[in-house]
Each structure stands twice: as C-alpha cells, then as structure tokens.
Amino acid sequence: MLNMRKYIYFDEISSTNDYIKENYNNLFDLDIVVAKHQTKGRGRLSRDWFDNSNSILLSMLIKPERDILIQLIPLVASAAVYKFLKKYVEDVKIKWPNDLLLNGKKIAGILVEAKYLTKLEYVVIGIGINLNDERFVSEIENKATSLFKVTKQKYDSTEMYEGLSDALRNEYMLFCNNQSDFLSVNRLNSAVINKDVLLEVDNKLKNVKVLDILDDGTILVNIDSQNKSFSSGEITLNKNYIEKE
C-alpha cells in the first residue's frame, strides 16, 4: 500500500540521507525527509553538495520486503526525476549513473545508500535538484544550472517537493510491480550512450565509447578494443563538465 504521508520537513539538517539512516527503525517504508538546507550534504564518493536554500533536497526510505537489485535503484530514481523535470523544461538528459543534466549542465544529483545485516535492511534515495538558484559558487558555476536559470521563473518549493515526492514514490511502486519503464527512459534520454567519454577505471581516466545500459543497470562500453560492462564509475563528458569537484 502506498504510504500517504507527504514528508517530514526540516528547515535545516546535516543530511537528509543521514537522518534516515540514523532513524530508520522509527520510520516507515516510503517516508520522505525534506530539508530547506543541509549543512553536510554530499553526493557520490563523499563529494559536497552545494546548496543555498534554493534547492530541492529530499531523501526517501525503502524497507524492501524482498531483495532488490540495488544497482537498478539509481536508474529508477533517475527516471522519476527525469519525468518530474520534463513537466517544466525540455532538454533533460540522464548522465549514468546518478546525475541529470539540463542544456548540458548538472541540475540534479542522486545518492543511493543501503545497509545490509543478515538481509537488506533499507535503501535510501537522496535527491538534490537546483531549483531557484540564481548563481553558484565559482568552482561549479560553469557546469551547474537550475530551473530558474533556464526558465527565468521562480518555483514554489512546497509544490515542487510534493511533486517530486509523488513522482519518486510512484516510480518505485511501478518498479516493484514490474511496470516501470525506467530502463527505456534511461536509455532513450541518456547523455552518454553512443558518446566517446572518459571513464575512471582503477583510478585512471580511460577513453571509452558508451554502447548501452544493460538490464542489470551496468553500463556497456568499448574500452581498449573490447566490450566490457561496469557497475560503477565516474564519467567525464567533456572539458567543460568535469566530475572531479
């Protein structure tokens, strides 16, 4: 049954993902935690997430009743965020495995974390979307954008939190019922498929061509004249979009 609680809201918190991880025993499946500002927000590989209270910052708790393939969850979340953003803007692309781009610049990031004991205890999906940001700190100014910067419109944060919460819950429920089109959404709107990119492999950047996203969520690339799949890795699209923040 779909959890109808809207969300748990904080004006300020260290991290919405951390709050869920610390309190998951007292929270319900599909609970969503929202914050106006995070003091210790982060992305993948412990990178900082920059926000100035103009972003959508939320995390959703999953308490699965059965084992799920964790590496598919970022793609499920990406599909949800893509569908949400497409209501407002056109040129949205998904940069495997955890970023969304608008007009070639990062507008959203996803961080998925999980805990195993004797079984999978929980999964947390953290999402940050640049909403009403008018400018960014210098180190990301050239590779980040926001809905406001593209549309020149300001957005009501409560309306946007609710819309994204609904989109994320709905996409996950479709996934659980094998009804989600998340794989085709990721493939058809990929920023990397059929592109020559740099992929970090064994702490080295390698020139590869991305061929496909496979059904298990891994990425298929041609590297050193061989086709190989990777379940994780950092991709650099071009000199103007460098992931090393």
Q: Is 112 exposed, middle or buried (0-12, 13-18, 19+ CB in 10 A)?
A: buried
Query: 211 falls in which pLDDT band (50, 70, 90)?
Result: very high
Delimiting residues of CATH 2.30.30 domain(s) in the chain: 196-236
Span 212-238, pLDDT tens digits: 999 999 999 999 999 999 988 888 886
CATH of domain 196-236: 2.30.30
CATH topology of domain 8-188: BirA Bifunctional Protein; domain 2 (3.30.930)
pLDDT of residue 103: 95
Residues of the chain with CATH 3.30.930.10: 8-188
pLDDT of amino acid 242: 41
**Nearest-10 Cα torsion for 6, 102, 46, 55:** -40
Task: Write out pLDDT tens, residues 76-92.
Answer: 999 999 999 999 999 99
* Range of weakest confidence among 97-101, 119-123, 165-169, 203-207: 203-207
pTM, full prediction: 0.90
